[in-house]
A and B are shown apart, each in its own frame.
Chain A
Amino acid sequence: MAKDIKNMVKPDVYHSLGLSDKEYQNITKILKRKPTNTELAMFSVEWSEHCGYLCSRKWLKLLPKTGKYKTLIGEDSGGIIIDGLAIIFKMESHNHPSQIEPKQGAATGVGGIIRDIFTAGARPIASLNSLRFGSLSQVYNKYLLSGVVNGIQFYGNCVGVPTVGGEIYFDESYSGNCLVNAMCIGIAKKEKLMRARASGKGNAIMYVGSSTGRDGIGGCSILASHEFKEGEEKRPTVQIGDPFTEKCLIEATLEAINTGYLVGIKDMGAAGLTCCTGEMASAGNSGMDVELRAVPRREENMEPWEIMMSESQERMLVCVKKGKEEQIKKIFLKWDLNASVIGRVTEDGLVTIRDNGKIVAQINAHSLTKAPIYDMPYRKPRYLRKLNKLKLSKIPDSKDYNKVLLKLLAAPSITNKAWVYQQYDHMVQTNTVVLPGSDAAVLRLPATKYGGSASGGKGTNKAIAATCDCNSRYCFLNPYRGAQIAVAEAARNLVCCGAHPAAVTDCLNFGNPKKPESFWQFKNCVEGIADACKSFNVAVVSGNVSFYNESPKSAINPTPAIGMIGILNDINKACSQNFKQEGDAIILLGYCRQDLGASEYLKEIHNLTKGDAPQLDLKLEQAVQKTCLEAIEKGLVNSAHDCSEGGLAVALAECCISNNDKVIGANVNKLNYDMRGDVLLFGESQSRIILSCNKDSVGKLRKIALEFKAPFYVIGKTGGRVLRILNDTEELIYLSLEDLNEEWSGSLKKKIEG
């Protein structure tokens, strides 16, 4: 039997489209015949790992879909509801395109995620991104970083969505496979939300936006669903972005949704028209009959399968109520955009594709979109046993802590990222209250702009905070705990701004899922995220999986990037990380423990990726976070900063210098720990927050900490032009703010521009 089928279509044809022998057999069973070229192309993209989640779906079911805020889960994005407003958000990867062509790869990543948000009916109000590169000592990595930043600014600035936050890390494992994860947040009145579905016999299927070309053919199946091999030419699979068209598309789409004449709408992203026709019909339990001649094209003589697979950007498919086609067309034409009826909804459950009337594909929508689920084998990597062992006695104690601190402040993963975020318009739409450079971005939600809160009144005092986090070195050494820490740290960052952690989107970046050791990392990270989210009672409302992140040399560190949204009940209480005035008490919530493993210090100073991820006690984490939040909401706190990479010393330095207009020193003279200086200063114990407050608020703060059972220590006071840190009577750090600032502020630019 298998042999007969192979005789019908040569295996190298479907292999080149990324389909296996077994999948091909499956397709012939579904169709009960040999597939046409167009059908084969459609199955190949719809059943790609990128679109079909073949390997991951089984494990993704572990992620909680409900939490303390009311959640909404749509086809392509999700969100939460507060005061009658829907906050919709999602994060998505664009790794392989960015590795090949950084500017356009990153730009189209931003464009794609923004479309996922406004096709849900929400106005995009903020973008974030999570980026990872190999060492900047290699010229190609500098090119990638500059190119990716250029792509994000090129697209995001023009489209008018502020880029308010994110993270950038550097590690050798990303040399040859950088990561570009883009996140977008949108806002809508609950009743204006749209679904990505088509239904109602006779309703129109309308194509809107840019014309279709040959760009991006096979982007999801060939490029995103395989690892990089030596010397491969994949540039033609990268799409080209046009932010100006996207800006017009945002306005036209939101205007069209406002008419009430739309049934459903979907972005033609990965797998283009195939994905839109199949998934909209399937989600609406209907079929559709589409004529390809009506599709606006920018190239001559395109074959039907090329039109079905193209990933040209800034296009969408809309289901419009019968009889309202002209009104909708008029809106898009006003913005100089294509709008063309290409088909009608049917009741037969079939996606029928015609080329000049002749049927070139006819597939049951459910069968097309129901990609097979694979149960992948997994195995704990052997190398971990050795790597997880860390003997402190074998690590020489770097006695010159001043030098170490300066070196860490200049380390690319830690240093000030102003060179990057100043290239992004982070203020357009005038909602950004806490600007980039603090623990999380804070955005106001003026009711007069967004249609008012359920409670009425002139404006809502509520605001949202947003952050992206993941320490992939922790995840490499301990995937389960590393993923938990990513969730805990994201929540901690929000809490430091005064926000209640509310909901999560994740972007799961891993190596080849067919390698059991890679898959073990994936499975453990998903379990870690699920357990941590349940402990914080937050839902995972949307997300994305990116496998095959491998260069010929190695796989990337497992990188489950966590995007988290928090809610501030009162915008006026928003808090930031920098010390505000001289003479304030400095407080440490949490413990310093013997947690040197997996630290930036070991990596930067001793060139070691070794030990275990820091300990994490979720009860202690909650106690610390609740104390911080309550203290901020009671107005007792002047600054709050999470301790993360680089440990206590780096966190204190950032508190001193991160507001360029007003740097303030600190005298930290009340630490008393029985541990080595480097472990105390640079160890990365979790669940720690540094607060500053007026002297006379200390008592009230201590009471709150006692109530939540959070460790509470007054460790010093702010003031002067120096950062000084003592353990008992031993002076560990004594550095002027100028010296700290020089390393922290200027290093990234120097490393990139030379």
Chain B
Amino acid sequence: MKFGVVVFPGSNCDQDCFYVIKDVLRQSVKYIWHKDTDLDGLDCVILPGGFSYGDYLRTGAIARFSPVMKSIADFAEKGGTVIGICNGFQILLEAGLLPGVMLRNRDLHFICSYVYIKTENNDTRFTGLYNAGQILKIPIAHNEGNYYIDAAGLKELRDNNQIVFRYCSATGEVDDQFNPNGALDNIAGIINKKGNVLGMMPHPERSAEKELGSEDGYFIFQSIVKWLKI
């Protein structure tokens, strides 16, 4: 099984993702330069966090034109596993692989902090190792994490069980006061209808080792590994 981590100019969590897959999960992994188009032999593609193209113009707006994105769309179309973290999520939205948009955080500041999220759907290839409703302690670090979608789109997300993570309290209460960035319906992560593309604002690669204060994010990657082996 093989992971690929995409490197856009300005990606800055690419090396962290690479490290977690290689040294913590001990799986095979390689970098994919954004101008490369060959994804042959890969089982899972990770779009990492960072500031692709400096976030100039709009987050993810330039990166989606990188040559690799066409290949990723084909890869996803064929059922390949894709996960976009933070800036990677923003790129997936811009590329239309996931529905909705990102607005600036409610208080107009960058926020770097641990938050709690609730696993709303554990019946996915990304969350299979979590219990239903499990609460994860996981960091966020972003300027634009204020997820928005129109009413029809939100209804569709809900009806199809596409909302995978919601911001919540340490005890699992989903309420606006535990919403760090103003995201609609406390949405922290969503999946596409087919269930093979996940986008999430929190950083699982930053919470995959005990030393760093939380291992809760580890099981996202481990769930993928387990699902792919089946």
A-to-B contact residues, CB < 8 Å? 153, 157-160, 242-245, 247-248, 335-336, 421-430, 432-433, 435, 444, 446, 448-449, 571-572, 661
Q: Is B27 part of the binding interface, using a Cβ–Cβ cutoff of 8 Å?
A: no
User: Shortest CB–CB separation between residue B114 and chain A, in angstroms?
Assistant: 9
B10–A427 CB distance below 8 A:
no
User: Shortest CB–CB separation between residue B172 and chain A, in angstroms?
Assistant: 15
Q: How far is the CA of A243 from the CA of B10 in the complex (A)?
A: 9
B212–A433 CB distance below 8 A:
yes
With beta carbons under 8 angstroms apart, the residue of A243, A430, A435, A571 that contacts B19 is: A430
Residues of the B chain whose Cβ atoms lie less than 8 Å from the Cβ of A428: 12-13, 16, 49, 141, 206
Q: How far is the CA of A432 from the CA of B211 in the complex (A)?
A: 9
- Residue of B with least CB distance to A749: B107
A158–B141 CB distance below 8 A:
no
With an 8 Å Cβ cutoff, the count of chain B residues facing the other chain is 33
Q: How far is the CA of A248 from the CA of B53 in the complex (A)?
A: 10
With beta carbons under 8 angstroms apart, the residue of B13, B16, B54, B213 that contacts A242 is: B54
B12–A247 CB distance below 8 A:
yes
A433–B211 CB distance below 8 A:
yes
Q: How far is the CA of A335 from the CA of B35 in the complex (A)?
A: 11
B16–A158 CB distance below 8 A:
no
Q: How far is the CA of A243 from the CA of B50 in the complex (A)?
A: 12
Residues of the A chain whose Cβ atoms lie less than 8 Å from the Cβ of B49: 428
Residues of the B chain whose Cβ atoms lie less than 8 Å from the Cβ of A571: 211
B10–A448 CB distance below 8 A:
no
User: Shortest CB–CB separation between residue A213 and chain B, in angstroms?
Assistant: 18
User: Shortest CB–CB separation between residue A416 and chain B, in angstroms?
Assistant: 13
- Residue of B with least CB distance to A159: B12
Residues of the B chain whose Cβ atoms lie less than 8 Å from the Cβ of A245: 54
Cβ < 8 Å to A, chain B residues 201-226? 203, 205-206, 209, 211-213
Cβ < 8 Å to A, chain B residues 82-107? none
Residues of the B chain whose Cβ atoms lie less than 8 Å from the Cβ of A449: 15, 19, 23
User: Shortest CB–CB separation between residue B199 and chain A, in angstroms?
Assistant: 19
B15–A153 CB distance below 8 A:
no
Interface of B is mostly: mixed
Residues of the A chain whose Cβ atoms lie less than 8 Å from the Cβ of B19: 430, 446, 448-449
B206–A244 CB distance below 8 A:
no
Given A422-B112, A428-B16, A448-B23, A158 contacting B212 (CB threshold 8 A): no
Q: How far is the CA of A444 from the CA of B209 in the complex (A)?
A: 12
B112–A244 CB distance below 8 A:
no
B112–A335 CB distance below 8 A:
no
B51–A244 CB distance below 8 A:
yes
- Residue of A with least CB distance to B50: A160
- Residue of B with least CB distance to A335: B9
Of A244, A427, A449, A661, most B-chain CB atoms within 10 Å: A427
B206–A336 CB distance below 8 A:
no
With beta carbons under 8 angstroms apart, the residue of A153, A159, A429 that contacts B16 is: A429
Question: Which 10 pairs show the lowest CB-CB distances between chains A and B?
Answer: A244-B54, A160-B12, A158-B51, A425-B141, A430-B16, A448-B23, A425-B112, A423-B110, A153-B110, A427-B206
Q: How far is the CA of A346 from the CA of B109 in the complex (A)?
A: 51
Residues of the B chain whose Cβ atoms lie less than 8 Å from the Cβ of A153: 110
B110–A425 CB distance below 8 A:
yes
Q: How far is the CA of A425 from the CA of B49 in the complex (A)?
A: 12
A157–B9 CB distance below 8 A:
no
- Residue of A with least CB distance to B205: A430
User: Shortest CB–CB separation between residue B57 and chain A, in angstroms?
Assistant: 11
User: Shortest CB–CB separation between residue A152 and chain B, in angstroms?
Assistant: 10
Q: How far is the CA of A424 from the CA of B139 in the complex (A)?
A: 13
Cβ < 8 Å to A, chain B residues 159-212? 170, 203, 205-206, 209, 211-212
